[in-house]
């Protein structure tokens, strides 16, 4: 009864961010008959995006009060080494509303938007060191002067789709990421 907001694939498993219902793990070994092999319910949280690295799934979440006002946002790291019994390893709470996540090697890259009523002033790319998944650490961040919707990581660059175009961020120095190019649409 959820609302799928994002998926990622590793081997024969789909990890589905299912908004109010949490994380669902779907076995797709038989493409004609996929089935849920496991799930992790994120009580009271809305899951917006998902990324996987080895035995850990990273989800971005938002928490709302009874009047549907955002009160918390962040990243949860869920151990999926046992697909049938995933469990929470750690959580990293962000200052701004999380939008997207991409994991590359031992780092999680998170887009957060500083906004109220979806009228953003700016967004940030956060870089979390996840080499110890139990203790994610903020190593660097880069401010983008507009609302950002999506994120793609390739080697030493992050590419963000934003309200006024695309930004290219050099992430080779994880402590000091910097915008190195942009295309305004």
Which stretches of the chain are assigned E, i.e. beta strand? Answer: 6-10, 13-17, 23-27, 35-40, 45-53, 56-64, 70-79, 87-93, 97-104, 107-116, 119-129, 137-144, 148-154, 157-162, 165-170, 178-184
Is residue 37 domain-shared with residue 9, that is, in the same domain? yes
Query: Residue 176 carries which DSSP code?
Result: S
Residue-by-residue pLDDT tens, the chain, 185 positions: 568 899 999 999 999 999 888 999 999 999 999 999 999 998 889 999 999 999 999 999 999 888 988 889 999 999 999 999 999 999 999 999 999 999 999 999 999 998 665 555 789 999 999 999 999 999 999 999 888 989 999 999 999 999 889 999 999 999 999 999 999 98
Is residue 73 domain-shared with residue 8, that is, in the same domain? yes
Is residue 184 domain-shared with residue 108, that is, in the same domain? yes
Measure the CA dihedral 39/47/112/102, to 10°: 40
Is residue 63 domain-shared with residue 109, that is, in the same domain? no
Among 93, 113, 134, give the residue marking a domain's end: 93
Say which CATH number the domain at 46 has: 2.40.10
Among 41, 71, 93, give the residue marking a domain's end: 93
Is residue 118 domain-shared with residue 39, that is, in the same domain? no
Among 34, 61, 93, give the residue marking a domain's end: 93
Total count of domains within the chain? 2
The pTM of the full predicted model, rounded to 2 decimals, is: 0.93
Q: Determine the Cα–Cα distance for residues 63 and 118; give it in Å rounded to an integer.
A: 16
Domain that residue 101 falls in: 97-185
Of 127, 160, 121, whose CA–CA distance to 141 is shortest? Answer: 127
Distances (CA, A) of 80 to 25, 32, 156, 174: 9, 24, 27, 26
- As given in the structure block, the two tokens for residue 9 are 């694939």
């Amino acid at each position: 009864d959820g609302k799928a907001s994002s998926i990622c694939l590793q081997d024969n498993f789909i990890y589905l961010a299912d908004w109010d219902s949490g994380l669902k793990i779907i076995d797709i070994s038989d493409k004609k008959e996929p089935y849920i092999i496991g799930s992790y319910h994120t009580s009271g949280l809305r899951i917006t995006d998902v990324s996987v690295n080895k035995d850990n799934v990273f989800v971005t979440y938002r928490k709302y009060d009874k009047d549907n006002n955002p009160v918390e946002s962040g990243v949860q790291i869920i151990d999926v080494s046992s697909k049938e019994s995933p469990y929470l390893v750690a959580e990293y709470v962000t200052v701004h509303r999380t939008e997207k996540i991409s994991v590359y090697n031992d780092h999680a890259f998170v887009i957060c938007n500083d906004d109220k009523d979806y009228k953003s002033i700016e967004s940030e790319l956060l870089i979390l060191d996840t080499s110890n998944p139990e203790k994610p650490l903020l190593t660097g961040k880069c401010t983008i002067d507009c609302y950002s919707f999506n994120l793609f990581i390739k080697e030493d660059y992050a590419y963000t789709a934003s309200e006024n175009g695309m930004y290219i961020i050099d992430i080779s120095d994880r402590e000091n990421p910097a915008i190195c190019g942009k295309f305004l649409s």
